[in-house]
C-alpha cells in the first residue's frame, strides 16, 4: 500500500467556493496494478474553471489534471521515471490507467513540466483546437478574445497573432492589460471599468470582428456579437461569468445578429478534438521553442494550498495559467 492524500469537496458550493468547502482525506492506494495502470506522484496540479462548472457532488474527490512522475508502472508507454499528464484529481499520488492519461510529458523539448498543465496541457489544446477548428482564422482578420490574460485566452491571442490576425481582448485589470499587450495583443480593455463595450470595440476594431473566442458569456458576449462582421465565427469555450452566480443571467437575444450577419456559433469541449492533440502539441511545442508563444504562470506552492489557488483563479488573481506546484 502507498499513502496518498486528496482533496474532497465536503459541501455544495454557495457562489464563490470557500476554503471550508474542501478537506484533505488520507487514503492508501493498493500497489497491485492492472495492465495499463501506473502510480504517479503529483508534481504540478491544475486549478481550472471547469472544476467549479462541473460541480461534483459533496463527498466526492475534487477532479482535475496533474503532471505526475511515474513511480510504479504496468504500462510500457509510461515507464518508471517518466512523467504523464493525467486526470488524476487533486491528489498527491494517483493510480490511473490509459483512459485517464492524456499523454506523456515530452522531456526532450527542454520545456518545464509545469507547462503540461498549461500551454501543452488541457488549456493549450483548448486554445489550439477550439480556436483553429471553429474560428478558422484568416490572415488580416480581426479576432476578439475575452478572459484574454488567462490560461486559454492568452494562448488564443498568441495563436491568432501567429496566424496574422489583428487581436483585441478584454480582461479584469490594468496589470492584465499590460501583460496581454506584452504578448502581442493589439488592443485590450478592462471590462470592469469599460462603460461602453460596443463604442470601445468600434474604436479598437474599426473593421469589425471576424472571430470571437468566448470564455466568459453574459451580456458582454451579446454586445460583442453585435459588432461582428457578416460570416463571423464564434467559438463558445466557456461562460465563467455564470459559474459562481446564484441568479440566471438575462442577456440581449442574439438570434437577430446570428441571422442577419450569417454567424456561425459553436460550443465545444476540448476532448472532442483529441485526434488533433498530436498536431497541437507539435505546433505549440515548436512555437514555444521559437519564442512565438510566451509562457506565463501564476504559481502557488504546496499541495495544501490547492483550494487557495483555485479560489484565487476564480477571483481573477492569475495572470496566464494558475498552477499548483506540489
Ligand atoms: N470548452 C472547453 O473544453 C474548455 C473551456 N474552458 C473555459 O475557458 C474559460 C477560461 O478558462 P481558463 O483559461 O482556464 O481560466 P483563466 O486562466 O482565464 O482564469 C479564470 C479567469 O476568468 C476571469 N473571470 C472570473 N470571473 C469572471 C467573471 N464573472 N466575468 C468575467 N471574467 C471572469 C478572471 O480574469 P479577469 O481578471 O479577466 O476577470 C480569471 O482570472 C472558462 O470559461 C473555462 O470554463 C477551459 C478549458 C476547456
Ligand atoms: C453555463 C454553463 C457552461 C458550462 C461550461 C462548462 C465547462 C467548460 C469547461 O471549462 C470545460 C472544460 C473541459 C475540460 C476537459 C476535460 C474534462 O472534461 C475532463 C475529461 C476527463 C478525461 O476525459 O480525461
pLDDT of residue 202: 94
Contact (CB, 8 A) for 240 and 147: yes
Does any ligand 1 atom lie closer than 6 A to the CB of residue 284?
no
Instruction: Write the residue with the smallest CA distance to atom 39 of ligand 1.
Output: 172
pTM (predicted TM-score): 0.98
Q: What is this model's ipTM?
A: 0.97
pLDDT of residue 54: 96
Q: Of 122, 152, 157, 121, nearest to 137 (Cα)?
A: 157
- Kindly state if the Cβ of 274 falls inside 6 Å of ligand 2: no
CB atoms within 10 A of CB 72: 17
Q: Is the CB of 311 under 6 A from ligand 1?
A: no
User: How many whole angstroms from 324 Cα to the centroid of ligand 2?
Assistant: 19
Binding site membership of 204 for ligand 1 (Cβ less than 6 Å) = no
CA of 88 to the centre of ligand 1 (A): 21
Q: Are 60 and 9 in contact (CB under 8 A)?
A: yes
Is the Cβ atom of 100 under 6 angstroms away from ligand 2?
yes
Each residue's pLDDT, cut to its tens digit, for the chain (326 residues) gives: 999 999 999 999 999 999 999 999 999 999 999 999 999 999 999 999 999 999 999 999 999 999 999 999 999 999 999 999 999 999 999 999 999 999 999 999 999 999 999 999 999 999 999 999 999 999 999 999 999 999 999 999 999 999 999 999 999 999 999 999 999 999 999 999 999 999 999 999 999 999 999 999 999 999 999 999 999 999 999 999 999 999 988 999 999 999 999 999 999 999 999 999 999 999 999 999 999 999 999 999 999 999 999 999 999 999 999 999 99
pLDDT of residue 203: 97
Q: Are 170 and 148 in contact (CB under 8 A)?
A: yes
> Distance between CA 123 and CA 150 in Å, rounded?
10
The span from the CA of 272 to the CA of 282, in Å, is 18
Is residue 104 within 8 A of residue 86, CB to CB? The reply is no
How many CA atoms within 13 Å lie on the side-chain side of 67?
24
Res 10: pLDDT: 98
Please say whether the structural domain 122-270 has been given the CATH code 3.40.50.720.
yes
Domain 2-119+295-325 sits in CATH at: 3.90.180.10
pLDDT value of position 248? 87
Amino acid 148: pLDDT? 98
Q: How many CA atoms lie within 13 A of 98 on its CB side?
A: 7
Other beta carbons within 10 angstroms of residue 210's beta carbon come to 23
Q: Which of 215, 222, 235, 300 to mutate to test the pocket of ligand 1 (most atoms within 8 A of CB)?
A: 215
Measure the CA–CA gap between 276 and 129, rounded to whole angstroms.
7
User: For the chain, what are the domain ranges?
Assistant: 2-119+295-325, 122-270
Question: What's the 66 CA to ligand 2 centre distance in angstroms?
Answer: 15
- Do you know the residue count of the chain? 326
pLDDT value at residue 60: 98
Amino acid at each position: 500500500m502507498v499513502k496518498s492524500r486528496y482533496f474532497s469537496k465536503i459541501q455544495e458550493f454557495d457562489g464563490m467556493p470557500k476554503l471550508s468547502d474542501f478537506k484533505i482525506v488520507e487514503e492508501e492506494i493498493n500497489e497491485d496494478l492492472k495492465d495499463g495502470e501506473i502510480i504517479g506522484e503529483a508534481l504540478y496540479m491544475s486549478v481550472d474553471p471547469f472544476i467549479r462548472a462541473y460541480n461534483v457532488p459533496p463527498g466526492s474527490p475534487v477532479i482535475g489534471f496533474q503532471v505526475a512522475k511515474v513511480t510504479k508502472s504496468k504500462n510500457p508507454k509510461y515507464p518508471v521515471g517518466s512523467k504523464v499528464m493525467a486526470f488524476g484529481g487533486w491528489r498527491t499520488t494517483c493510480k490511473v490507467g490509459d483512459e485517464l492519461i492524456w499523454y506523456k510529458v515530452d522531456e526532450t523539448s527542454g520545456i518545464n513540466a509545469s507547462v503540461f498543465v498549461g500551454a501543452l496541457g488541457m488549456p493549450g489544446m483548448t486554445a489550439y483546437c477550439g480556436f483553429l477548428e471553429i474560428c478558422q482564422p484568416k490572415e488580416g482578420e480581426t479576432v476578439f478574445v475575452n478572459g484574454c490574460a488567462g490560461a486559454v485566452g492568452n494562448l488564443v491571442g498568441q495563436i491568432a497573432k501567429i496566424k496574422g490576425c489583428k487581436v483585441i481582448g478584454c480582461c479584469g485589470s490594468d496589470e492584465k492589460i499590460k501583460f496581454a499587450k506584452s504578448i502581442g495583443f493589439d488592443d485590450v480593455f478592462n471590462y470592469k471599468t469599460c462603460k461602453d463595450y460596443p463604442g470601445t470595440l468600434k474604436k479598437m476594431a474599426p473593421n469589425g470582428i471576424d472571430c470571437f473566442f468566448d470564455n466568459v458569456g453574459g451580456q458582454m458576449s451579446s454586445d460583442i456579437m453585435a459588432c461582428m462582421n457578416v460570416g463571423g465565427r464564434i467559438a463558445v469555450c466557456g461562460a465563467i461569468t455564470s459559474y459562481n452566480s446564484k441568479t440566471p443571467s438575462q442577456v440581449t437575444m442574439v438570434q437577430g445578429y446570428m441571422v442577419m450577419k450569417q454567424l456561425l456559433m459553436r460550443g465545444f469541449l476540448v476532448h472532442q478534438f483529441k485526434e488533433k492533440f498530436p498536431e497541437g502539441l507539435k505546433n505549440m511545442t515548436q512555437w514555444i521553442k521559437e519564442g512565438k508563444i510566451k509562457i506565463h504562470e501564476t504559481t502557488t506552492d504546496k499541495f495544501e494550498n490547492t483550494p487557495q489557488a483555485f479560489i484565487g483563479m476564480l477571483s481573477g488573481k492569475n495572470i496566464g495559467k494558475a498552477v499548483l506546484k506540489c
